[in-house]
Structure 1
């Protein structure tokens, strides 16, 4: 029983087991719909709010107030640094999701970690999105991710951690084409 109540990497083993069992029993609980709302403010500045979502078979009401993200651009890209720019948020989302995915799966597999840090770099040529060169991609042409992991881990466990990072939903979003339906009202 001690193994189930034990916390590994900040996750309670019992909660991992209970969640997995619930999803195995009723796969419909695995469906989630996340939402973001955005409003243009001025120039390159716009603001996103994130609060409600559907998951686990119902609307979630745990968030009492919205998370607010200001999107901006640095002056060299015609902005006033109102916030990180959207492609920087992609790096943030990728870092956060790969880290959480790795740490959660490590916990589920009994791999204890002391710390995890990452550095991400994305290469982007703005000629693409500015319409100056149709041979240049609009988005990142490459993203480099470097993890620094502290823990008493074997080479085999390190290989598992590497595989866990690729189970990240955001990793999937940026490495596979996701259909996007755009509607203009």
Structure 2
């Protein structure tokens, strides 16, 4: 990699590509419309397997993405599963962790902040009384998600890192999805 190519990359983010993406979306706002898909099948008990599907942008399938990824989930034995895979609750944390990593890296790159490390310790709490239909006043979903962020930078002050962390909370699509109501449409198809 040449020196000029290295200077265009920060935190593993191609800053030229990031700028080009921002400019393209400014010029054509419809490019901001992105959809992900997934197909899932129940295996047995608490187990399921899912495979990623098409990604669409501006209503068109993104054709340069050829890979698919398989996910399996289960529950720990204490929660009626066979503990053969991560639980859906852990996948929620993984989705948030992945989105935080993207949002930290890109927002830091825009600000010229070099990240030397980023680590997240995460917990999510559920009250099973809602899921088990024991108490209608208890929602079945997560009660709280806690994230401890450890971020280090050789060129940013503590204040800049606090501002970056605040920006990540405002800009993370998955955090926003978890923190605000989302219209989830479930349809029985026979």
Give the whole-Å Cα distance in 1 for the aligned partners of 2:114 and 2:58.
Answer: 27
Paired residues in the alignment total 185
Match for residue 157 of structure 1?
A: 160
Residue in 2 that maps onto 1:132? 134
Q: CA deviation at 1:13?
A: 1.5
Is the deviation greater in 97-106 or in 167-176?
97-106
CA contact (8 A) 1:46 1:71 kept: yes
What is the alpha-carbon distance in structure 1 between the residues aligned to residue 187 and residue 76 of structure 2?
A: 29
How big is the alpha-carbon RMSD for the aligned residues of Structure 1 and Structure 2? Answer: 1.8
Question: How far did residue 139 of structure 1 move?
Answer: 1.3
Does 1:182 pair with 2:174? no
Distance in 1 of aligned mates of 2:58 and 2:110: 20
Q: Does 1:64 align with 2:66?
A: yes
Counterpart Cα distance in 2 of 1:25 and 1:8: 24
C-alpha separation between the residues in 2 aligned to 1:5 and 1:146? 30
Contact 2:74-2:85 within 8 A present in 1 as well: yes
- For 1:47 and 1:140, the matched residues in 2 are separated by 22
Measured after TM superposition, the shift of residue 56 of structure 1 is: 5.4
Match of 1:39 in 2: 41
Counting only pairs closer than 5 Å after superposition, residues 112-127 of structure 1 correspond to structure 2 as: 112-127=114-129
Q: Which SS does the other structure have where 2:135 is aligned?
A: coil
Q: Deviations along 1:20-62, whole A, 9 cap, x unmatched?
A: 1111111111111111111011111111111311025631133
Structure 2 CA distance for aligned equivalents of residues 4 and 45 of structure 1:
44
Contact 2:73 2:86 in 1 (8 A): yes
SS at match of 2:146: strand
How many Å separate the matches in 1 of 2:84 and 2:63? 29
**1:82 shift after superposition:** 2.4
Contiguous gaps of at least 5 residues in structure 2: none
Native 8 Å contact 1:99 1:165 kept in 2: no
Greater mean deviation of Cα atoms: 50-59 or 1-10: 1-10
Change (3 A) 1:5 1:158: closer
The secondary structure found in structure 2 opposite 1:181 is coil
Cα deviation for residue 4 of structure 1 reads 9.1
Runs of 4+ in 1 over 3 A off after TM superposition: 1-5
